[in-house]
Structure 1
Amino acid sequence: MASISLHPAIDQGIRQGTPDFAGGTLVCACTDRPVTVRINAQVLHNHACGCTKCWKPAGAIFSIVGVVPEDKVEVTANGDKLKVVDPSALIQRYACTACGVHLYGPIEKEHAFKGLAFIHTERSTDPGWAAPEFAAFVSSVIESGTRPSDMPAVRARLKELGLEPYDCLSPPLMDALAIYAARKAGTLRE
């Protein structure tokens, strides 16, 4: 099963984070004027994501993505190279216009996750980021070219790495979405 390559950051095993880690710097792939983004917080809900919207490095079938409070994100160099990939999307993914790497993606529309920004910790060389906790939107890797016949091996490899595979978000995140919807509807029982 180790022959299934999911993502370079997890293929050789998952590196655990440091409890007191307070953030680091994300860097795009450019050698000339790289975009840098300072993250002043530990990542939350870090996970392998199979959706077709998240940025993935060459050859990866999953991205590694998590969230931080939006106010903990600071573009520190060459922000003029950043552009939103899809202005109509819920997550406003800012990517480098030269290399294509996504650096952060805030949620600016009314949503349970408004105020959070999605980040790709793999774009940082700073050790200590929280490890991925689960895999989301696993079936979606079929949409980006994974053979359906490979899916049992993909799910088995994720489980082998300790990442529970979901075809949505993890239960705590799905609960957060439901709580938000129930509050809006006035049906939340606390």
Structure 2
Amino acid sequence: MPLSIHPQVDRGAKAAAANFTGGNLSCHCADRKVTVAIKGQAQFNHVCGCTKCWKPAGSLFSQVAATASTNVSVTANADKLKVVDDKALIQRYACAQCGVHMHGRVNRPGHPLHGFDFFHTELSTDAGWAPPGFAAFVSSIIESGADPERMGDVRARLRELGLEPYDCLSPGLMDFIATAVAKSSNVPKRKMAEVSG
């Protein structure tokens, strides 16, 4: 039997819908649900093994996507939201009643991810979100109790699901962050030497 990574990817992820305009996220409360509206398509959707992200019960990984903070608005029961860790880079807003993380905002000016919010597409019943494209912070699942002896199996399962495993973020997202840091530091681009035949 294959390892369970996350309920949204265990049987294969669904493709993104063309011209998807966004949707609504809801917490798990039976009444007075916290509702968050997301405009537009999810960016950088991935499964994450870090110990900070909210995971459904029994999941090895969370599933997290990003969007511009201007695309996120709390539309119902904002009074129930509390910041999980006010010292963390990502200020994760969770429902104080059910514990579900609704969105996480990067409010640190000057940080490459300032102006982004992170969210869990699985909290939406709207079909069409971009599927996860990679797995981040894979080794960190050991910190949550995963058996270190099974990490080869975990990485093999992720690849089977089309999710390249990384122990950081994906190369494209790391390049984005490094580019922002270089620009803010006024590092000039330099020509890279090519090897001649």
Partner of 1:143: 143
Partner of 1:178: 178
Partner of 1:103: 102
Instruction: Name the aligned partner's letter for residue 144 of structure 1.
Output: S
TM-score (norm 1): 0.97
| Equivalent runs, 1:29-48 vs 2, <5 Å | 29-48=28-47
Partner of 2:121: 121
Instruction: Name the aligned partner's letter for residue 14 of structure 1.
Output: A
Moved over 3 A (4+): none
Percent sequence identity is 57
- Cα deviation, residue 186, structure 1: 1.8
Q: What is the rounded CA distance, in whole Å, between the counterparts of 2:4 and 2:50 in structure 1? A: 16
| Equivalent runs, 1:1-190 vs 2, <5 Å | 2-110=1-109, 111-189=111-189
Q: What is the rounded CA distance, in whole Å, between the counterparts of 2:74 and 2:139 in structure 1? A: 33
Q: What is the rounded CA distance, in whole Å, between the counterparts of 1:108 and 1:188 in structure 2? A: 27
Number of residue equivalences? 189
- Cα deviation, residue 185, structure 1: 2.0
Instruction: Spell out, residue by residue over 1:99-119, the C-alpha distance to the aligned partner (whole angstroms, 9 max, x if none).
Output: 000010110002111111001
TM-score (norm 2): 0.94
Q: What is the rounded CA distance, in whole Å, between the counterparts of 2:70 and 2:181 in structure 1? A: 24
Instruction: Name the aligned partner's letter for residue 66 of structure 1.
Output: A
Partner of 2:193: none
Partner secondary structure for residue 38 of structure 1? strand
Give ranges in structure 2 of 5+ residues lacking alignment: 191-197
Give ranges in structure 1 of 5+ residues lacking alignment: none
